[in-house]
Chain A
């Protein structure tokens, strides 16, 4: 009698652990799906010239709450950005980039922010042609 009990509880145990595993995998799967829907990938133009600009732009973007990833290409002037659209918006990201002194099409940096840039980063005077 006792022995039976043990084996039965063993069976329930295995079933339970298998179920847990399946549930875990399922929940992970849904989590990833959910994460996918919450994630926005965007490429936007940001003005800048050099590697110092690159560091500044990327830092401004990534320190915006909700931004997962940001990389700026010096040659194409494009910022590739991945963010959680439940936690932040594109406008917010552009605003923090502007606060750091860099223009996007929609939001321009204030004169004050722009003036704080190093001389080699003054993209407004260097870029026009």
Chain B
């Protein structure tokens, strides 16, 4: 008896304590258009017996438990609605009369790709929904449905995809992971393939020079990737993918709450391609054999009361590729002239930590500190060319945010320090160098909360090889009328070109490497310096009562100095030298986005590129760069059912205009290419069936029209001759490719 009483006394308070309620109101618009409460409406939690009705003013109170997620509102003559409730909060809900359903629903959905009307810089954000459209598989493949970034094949050996922005290749883009520069130095060629797509939460693409906070290196733009955060990530996630060209990928994520303040995630990625494919019968693999293990462990510390957030990341990567002739066997044929083959083996370790502190009393003041270390080692050979690179890098940045007078005037100030140790072996030559820089930056931003904002940044850096220099950057936004936004930007960028790491596809040819300058600090060459000018106009409007927007961008990059990569002097050589004369990249883009119906979105873009440099031979367009491109994307989604199940369809079309090919006319006739590559078009499509929020399957196809470049490898019949060249690739090597996969989430 006593025990029972004791039990009751202990138990009752617990029950009382855990019984929270939430309050809310069911509302309608009356005939006069005024808002009023709806009495007698039924409110209940889905799949429970817990329910109530609203009082005569429309108010209700209902028991709440964290496991109750879906709150149902229902009343005769009105549409029954399900409200997702993730935390106890007050719920005001408008009920719609059944008959007027379609006219009154004002639904704002999170767009998959969002252009901003408010930011000063020209930033496009790609959200998770958009990333799902490109089912496979890593960061380099995440841009295929976005017209601001062009995805190209880099060469016929490695099958690596390379991105371009404003007509400039990825070394001119600052590619960061959570604002820490990630694809740089030794990882320039393959770094984008080292971030699996499922790890990514969102991508921000900034056109133009961008902010000074992350350094002085960006010239064409900045791409920042935000990874999934342990605090919000699902408990368990698995994604498997298989394609008919023999690529298998497996991604698993685990997330765990450790304590009130600590959360952790473990991401494990593996991919494998072990089937030998040579569809074009040139005796070379169309796509390399590959395997990758990629593991990341993230820790997040969140203490909202004291304004502290911290992330600690560890990442380990091992990536092996083998390519070359189909019957090349590394154990027997490595570095011999019996069979041509190549192996690229990479190991990488990353550790990074971030700490953010917001002053609780003055929330407009905050401090952020980032520290990152990476060790990158690549051992590789391409036929008889040997290339090894070891790059250790330290990056640190401390940022202080505050205001001048009011939050209309904000500033960021800070210091950064970087240290890079390169050890490179190119055949018999050893190139070793250390780079270090220390710099300070200040960025002022103004926003009148109406039609004008600007960001003006300046940094001063001292670099052991690049010298002491300033980097000014300015972004402005002006909204002259409703939904019309004008943007302008100007900025300077400076960088040392890692000529071998960035152009390592050239090892897949018999070209002799020649560096013509000797006076400079990096490989005898001078640092690259460029100014980028941009102008953009965005107009949103309604077309047949549906949302539409139209954007015109014009960007121009003028190089003061550039390391010219000259493959036009002779098909047997590649020359690197400092720019003498002019080099500039002009880009015009017109884009139209339209929501055809609530579920169908259309995106059209036309792009024009004029990218030319003064070479030894004279002024030439950059090879392998189409002057004109057309892009179209059509997405369709069915209405979700109660479980969130729906279908998703996506179609992408690309047309690439004529491209100039490097000079080959001095080769024997059979090893000559025409001066220009023909224009062609590509189509991709994907269908996904979403069963519920937790499970979906997808199938898709790439290059549906099966367009292929005829002879992607010059002299593939004689790979050790002086005419061998696998770097002149203007179209897909592999024909159409089909894939399927699934995603499973457990909360």
Taking Cβ atoms with an 8 Å cutoff, the residues of A that contact B are: 41, 49, 59, 62-63, 67-71, 75, 80, 82, 119-120, 122, 125-126, 128-129
Contacts and interface: CB of A to CB of B under 8 A. Distances in A.
Given A69-B363, A71-B363, A122-B35, 17 more contacts: A49-B92, A59-B449, A63-B408, A68-B405, A68-B406, A68-B407, A69-B403, A69-B406, A70-B407, A82-B364, A119-B33, A120-B35, A125-B35, A125-B36, A126-B25, A126-B92, A129-B25
Interface in B49-98: 57, 59, 89-90, 92
A62 B407 contact: yes
B362 interface: yes
B59 A69 contact: no
B35 A119 contact: yes
B372 interface: no
B102 interface: no
Given A62-B449, A75-B89, A67 B35 contact: no
A47 B683 CA distance: 53
A67 B89 CA distance: 30
B361 interface: yes
A128 B57 contact: yes
29 contacts: A41-B361, A49-B92, A62-B406, A63-B449, A67-B406, A68-B364, A68-B403, A68-B406, A68-B407, A69-B362, A69-B364, A69-B406, A69-B407, A70-B407, A71-B363, A80-B363, A82-B362, A82-B364, A119-B33, A119-B35, A120-B35, A122-B34, A122-B35, A125-B34, A125-B36, A126-B25, A128-B57, A129-B57, A129-B59
Contacts of B362: 69, 82
3 closest residue pairs by CB, A with B: A69-B364, A129-B59, A68-B406
A70 B407 CA distance: 8
Interface string B694-736: 0000000000000000000000000000000000000000000
Contacts of A41: 361
Contacts of B579: none
A126 B364 contact: no
Contacts of A122: 34-35
Contacts of A129: 25, 57, 59
A59 B59 CA distance: 31
A82 B363 CA distance: 10
Interface string B350-374: 0000000000011110000000000
A109 B59 CA distance: 25
A87 to B, nearest CB: 9
Interface string B392-433: 000000000001011110000000000000000000000000
Nearest to B57: A129
Contacts of B200: none
B449 A126 contact: no
Q: How large is the interface on B (under 10, 10 to 19, 20 to 34, 35 or more residues)?
A: 20 to 34
B27 interface: yes
Nearest to B407: A69
A126 B57 contact: no
Contacts of B407: 62, 68-70
Contacts of B36: 125
Nearest to A63: B449
Interface in B221-269: none
B250 to A, nearest CB: 40
A59 B450 CA distance: 9
A93 to B, nearest CB: 12
A71 B29 CA distance: 30
A125 B58 CA distance: 12
Contacts of A67: 406
Contacts of B92: 49, 126
Contacts of A70: 407
A120 B33 CA distance: 11
A38 to B, nearest CB: 12
A72 to B, nearest CB: 13
Nearest to B23: A129
Nearest to A128: B57
Contacts of B449: 59, 62-63
B28 to A, nearest CB: 12
Interface string B659-674: 0000000000000000
A118 to B, nearest CB: 11
Contacts of A75: 89-90
A70 B406 CA distance: 9
A2 to B, nearest CB: 33
A54 B290 CA distance: 53
Contacts of A62: 406-408, 449
Interface in B15-51: 25, 27, 29, 33-36
Nearest to A70: B407
Q: Which of A41, A49, A126 has the most chain B CB atoms inside 10 A of its CB? A: A126
Interface in B477-519: none
Nearest to A84: B405
B35 A126 contact: yes
B452 to A, nearest CB: 13
Nearest to A55: B449
Contacts of B35: 119-120, 122, 125-126
A32 to B, nearest CB: 12
B194 to A, nearest CB: 39
Contacts of B405: 68
Nearest to B448: A63
Contact of A126 (B27, B89, B361, B408): B27
A94 B456 CA distance: 33
A128 B27 CA distance: 13
A68 B36 CA distance: 37
A68 to B, nearest CB: 5
Contacts of B408: 62-63
A82 B402 CA distance: 13
Contacts of B57: 128-129
Contacts of A71: 363
A33 to B, nearest CB: 15
Contacts of B361: 41
A126 to B, nearest CB: 6
Interface in B433-464: 449
Contacts of A125: 34-36
Nearest to B408: A62
B571 to A, nearest CB: 61
B652 to A, nearest CB: 34
A8 B276 CA distance: 81
A41 B35 CA distance: 35
Nearest to B90: A75
A122 B59 CA distance: 16
